[in-house]
Amino acid sequence: MPITQAEVEKIAGLANLELTADEKDLFSNQLAAIVEYVDQLNELDTSAVKPWRHQSAGEVETSYVARDDKVEPSLGQQKALEQAPDHDEGHFLVPRVIGG
Protein backbone atom coordinates (compact mmCIF):
# COMPACT_ATOMS: atom_id res chain seq x y z
CA MET A 1 0.00 0.00 0.00
CA PRO A 2 1.70 3.18 -1.10
CA ILE A 3 1.89 6.06 1.35
CA THR A 4 1.72 9.43 -0.36
CA GLN A 5 3.87 12.40 0.51
CA ALA A 6 0.65 14.24 1.39
CA GLU A 7 -0.03 11.60 4.06
CA VAL A 8 3.54 11.93 5.35
CA GLU A 9 3.08 15.72 5.49
CA LYS A 10 -0.15 15.27 7.45
CA ILE A 11 1.53 12.92 9.93
CA ALA A 12 4.50 15.29 10.24
CA GLY A 13 2.11 18.17 10.87
CA LEU A 14 0.35 16.24 13.64
CA ALA A 15 3.76 15.56 15.22
CA ASN A 16 4.91 19.17 14.72
CA LEU A 17 7.80 18.03 12.52
CA GLU A 18 9.27 19.94 9.63
CA LEU A 19 10.54 17.57 6.93
CA THR A 20 12.66 18.21 3.87
CA ALA A 21 11.55 16.88 0.48
CA ASP A 22 14.13 14.09 0.78
CA GLU A 23 12.83 13.12 4.22
CA LYS A 24 9.24 13.05 2.95
CA ASP A 25 10.27 10.72 0.13
CA LEU A 26 12.29 8.50 2.48
CA PHE A 27 9.55 8.31 5.10
CA SER A 28 6.81 7.59 2.57
CA ASN A 29 8.83 4.58 1.35
CA GLN A 30 9.59 3.40 4.90
CA LEU A 31 5.98 3.77 6.06
CA ALA A 32 4.75 1.90 2.98
CA ALA A 33 7.13 -0.97 3.82
CA ILE A 34 5.83 -1.07 7.40
CA VAL A 35 2.20 -1.13 6.27
CA GLU A 36 3.00 -3.88 3.76
CA TYR A 37 4.63 -5.95 6.53
CA VAL A 38 1.59 -5.49 8.81
CA ASP A 39 -0.64 -6.63 5.94
CA GLN A 40 1.47 -9.79 5.69
CA LEU A 41 1.01 -10.40 9.41
CA ASN A 42 -2.75 -9.96 9.05
CA GLU A 43 -2.79 -12.88 6.60
CA LEU A 44 -1.60 -15.32 9.28
CA ASP A 45 -4.13 -17.73 10.78
CA THR A 46 -4.19 -16.95 14.49
CA SER A 47 -7.49 -18.67 15.29
CA ALA A 48 -5.72 -21.27 17.45
CA VAL A 49 -3.74 -18.68 19.41
CA LYS A 50 -5.24 -17.73 22.74
CA PRO A 51 -5.51 -13.97 23.34
CA TRP A 52 -2.77 -12.62 25.55
CA ARG A 53 -3.54 -10.35 28.45
CA HIS A 54 -1.35 -8.56 30.92
CA GLN A 55 -1.14 -10.18 34.33
CA SER A 56 -0.89 -8.20 37.50
CA ALA A 57 1.69 -9.08 40.13
CA GLY A 58 -0.94 -10.89 42.17
CA GLU A 59 -1.64 -13.35 39.35
CA VAL A 60 1.88 -14.56 38.65
CA GLU A 61 4.55 -16.35 40.60
CA THR A 62 6.75 -13.86 42.43
CA SER A 63 9.95 -15.91 42.58
CA TYR A 64 11.66 -13.32 40.37
CA VAL A 65 11.74 -10.70 43.13
CA ALA A 66 15.34 -9.57 43.45
CA ARG A 67 15.42 -8.43 47.08
CA ASP A 68 13.39 -8.14 50.23
CA ASP A 69 11.94 -4.77 51.13
CA LYS A 70 13.72 -3.27 54.10
CA VAL A 71 13.54 0.05 55.86
CA GLU A 72 16.63 2.21 55.46
CA PRO A 73 17.35 5.70 56.74
CA SER A 74 16.13 8.47 54.47
CA LEU A 75 18.01 11.56 53.39
CA GLY A 76 16.06 13.79 55.74
CA GLN A 77 14.40 17.13 55.12
CA GLN A 78 17.30 19.35 56.19
CA LYS A 79 19.88 17.54 54.07
CA ALA A 80 17.53 17.50 51.05
CA LEU A 81 16.96 21.26 51.30
CA GLU A 82 20.67 22.11 51.72
CA GLN A 83 21.31 21.83 47.97
CA ALA A 84 18.01 23.42 46.87
CA PRO A 85 18.42 26.72 45.04
CA ASP A 86 15.36 28.12 46.81
CA HIS A 87 13.37 26.86 49.79
CA ASP A 88 11.10 28.23 52.50
CA GLU A 89 9.67 26.74 55.69
CA GLY A 90 10.83 23.23 54.83
CA HIS A 91 9.56 23.24 51.23
CA PHE A 92 11.22 23.50 47.83
CA LEU A 93 10.28 26.68 46.00
CA VAL A 94 9.94 26.35 42.23
CA PRO A 95 8.91 28.80 39.51
CA ARG A 96 5.24 28.82 38.50
CA VAL A 97 4.80 26.89 35.25
CA ILE A 98 1.02 26.85 34.85
CA GLY A 99 -1.30 29.86 34.81
CA GLY A 100 1.27 32.51 35.60
- Give the whole-angstrom CA distance, residue 2 versus residue 35: 9
User: 91 pLDDT band (50/70/90 cuts)?
Assistant: very high
Domain containing 18 equals 5-42
- What pLDDT shows up at residue 25? 93
What is the pLDDT of the chain when averaged over all its residues?
86
Q: Where does residue 8 rank: exposed (0-12), middle (13-18), buried (19+ CB within 10 A)?
A: buried
What pLDDT, in 10s, does the model give residues 29-71?
999 999 999 999 999 998 998 887 766 655 555 555 667 788 9
For residue 19, tell me if it sits in a domain. yes
Domain count for the chain: 1
For residue 35, tell me if it sits in a domain. yes
Domain with 19 in it: what CATH number? 1.10.20
User: CB neighbours of 70 closer than 8 A, spacing ≥ 6?
Assistant: none
For residue 25, tell me if it sits in a domain. yes
CA atoms 40, 42, 46, 47: torsion sign: negative
- What pLDDT shows up at residue 53? 72
